[in-house]
Structure 1
Amino acid sequence: MTDVIARRAELAENLARVEERIADACAAAGRGRDEVTLIVVTKTYPAADVRLLAELGVRHVAENRDQEAAAKAAECADIPLTWHFVGQLQTNKARSVASYADVVHSVDRPRLVNALSGAARSHGRELDCLVQVALDAESEAAGGRGGAAPESVATVADAIDAAQGLRLAGVMTVAPLTGPYAGRPASAFDRLREISTGLCTRHPAATMVSAGMSSDLEEAVAAGATHVRVGSAVLGERPRLG
């Protein structure tokens, strides 16, 4: 019990710091705090932490691996949470992800759209989907982060919009580690905002912009992000995998 109390206090303190950072970033950008949603990325941390976060007011959590996410979502099924899937997604995992995820951030190809559509319909669910945008020139070679090239965003978006069981919600990106935007998250997020603006002329409801993590949430908020995905700043540094 003492460990639980200590962990809750640690998470509360970390959350307060992150909330202050978001509030300050919103103020600096002339935006209201209610314009930005915090998604806490709980990968590698136990369901017990998800429960503590929920007690502290967190309503949006994210995972990036289906096996871990499916088990954690099932264990926390009694909690009113919105589950976000933010990792690269193979088509053979679509059925599982569609059973628990409310929002899929990493849709980057028509084949995945088709798989998610069939899975969502089989589960009798509707999923919000974001087009993941790769702002580096060679996304697969650059760490395997995935994403559609900027010139392919419209094609993927149109496929989502036409698919049964899916709703086109907007766009997502991860600040690139290579290419012209490497080390320049502010410029990368400005480019994402341009892509989002263009997408909204064709799909006015696709207003969600998912960008920014623990290290660059301020730049994302300044560029108009509606959702920031924060993990280590809330939960602590993750151990390196050997």
Structure 2
Amino acid sequence: MSTIAENIAKVGARIREAAQASGRDSSTIGLLAVSKTKPAAAIREAHATGLVDFGENYLQEALGKQLELTDLALTWHFIGPIQSNKAKPIAEHFDWVHSVDRLKIAERLAAQRPAELPPLNICLQVNVSGEASKSGCAPEELAALAQAVTQLPRLKLRGLMTIPEPTDDPARQRAAFARLRELRDSLGLELDTLSMGMSHDLEAAIGEGATWVRIGTALFGARDYS
């Protein structure tokens, strides 16, 4: 059994245990493998265990890996900050975008999503911790943004995403994730997705209703940014 396969099994067990502790069905929680900075070979290895959903932060890196992996049936998620000039290739080459935080980006994605592809699945990124260094719309701006995005063609608004301020305190972790769930529920829209939780806090996220946990380090090891 390879290291990646072993890691996937360990993370799967953590997801199942957290779901059981919260009275949830683990099949409602998707494992999004965050493969940024990792080679296509690592994605191929993870796919061999049954994973099909992969998250990328850097457009050019992702497009290169997509070309290498055209023989695999993968679902690609863009999870990084989006510059306006990158909207067109993102709209053309991804199935999900988790990091929409302003209307201008949503409009560009809608205009540039090819008609022959299914609607692009969208999550709105919310800055629940109010960190100046983090992307995401402010909670008080969310309702107007969500209503506007639901009116755009070629997009399907699925839910919300957040990257809260890092903390080892489980109570603070859960409070941030509860905030995102409450914001989703307050919108009055039929949204089925909460993209929240990473390697260090997936249990807290699952406890508060996560439907995607975005896991990189616990699957692939530490990232090399050199």
Q: 1:124 to 1:18 in 2, by over 3 A?
A: closer
- Percent of pairs with identical residues: 40
Q: Which stretch of the first structure deviates more once superposed, 72-81 or 108-117?
A: 72-81
Aligned match of 2:184 in 190, 193, 196?
196
Alpha-carbon distance between aligned partners in 2 of 1:96 and 1:176, rounded to the nearest angstrom: 30
Deviations 1:192-239 (A, max 9, x none): 11011112x2x21x1100000000000000000011000000000113
Q: Residue 63 of structure 2 aligns with which residue?
A: 70
SS at match of 1:234: helix
SS at match of 1:38: strand
When normalised by structure 1's length, the TM-score is 0.88
Alpha-carbon distance between aligned partners in 2 of 1:123 and 1:75, rounded to the nearest angstrom: 23
Please say if 1:169 is aligned against 2:158: yes
Q: Residue 184 of structure 1 aligns with which residue?
A: 172
Please say if 1:232 is aligned against 2:217: yes
CA-based RMSD: 1.9
SS at match of 1:30: coil
In structure 1, give the amino acid aligned to 2:219. V
1:78 CA drift (Å): 2.1
Alpha-carbon distance between aligned partners in 1 of 2:88 and 2:64, rounded to the nearest angstrom: 14
Q: 1:123 to 1:95 in 2, by over 3 A?
A: farther
Contact 1:105/1:171 (8 A) holds in 2: yes
1:77 CA drift (Å): 2.1
Deviations 1:130-188 (A, max 9, x none): 01000122x4x32xx3101111111221222111111101000012249xx9x921110
In structure 1, give the amino acid aligned to 2:11. V
Alpha-carbon distance between aligned partners in 2 of 1:35 and 1:125, rounded to the nearest angstrom: 22
Q: Residue 152 of structure 1 aligns with which residue?
A: 141
Q: Residue 56 of structure 1 aligns with which residue?
A: 49
Contact 1:196/1:207 (8 A) holds in 2: no
**Could you list the runs of 4 or more consecutive aligned residues of structure 1 that deviate by over 6 angstroms after TM superposition?**
none
Please say if 1:128 is aligned against 2:121: yes
SS at match of 1:61: strand
Q: Residue 31 of structure 1 aligns with which residue?
A: 24
| Matched length | 225
Q: For structure 2, list consecutive stretches of 5 or more residues without a partner in the other structure.
A: none
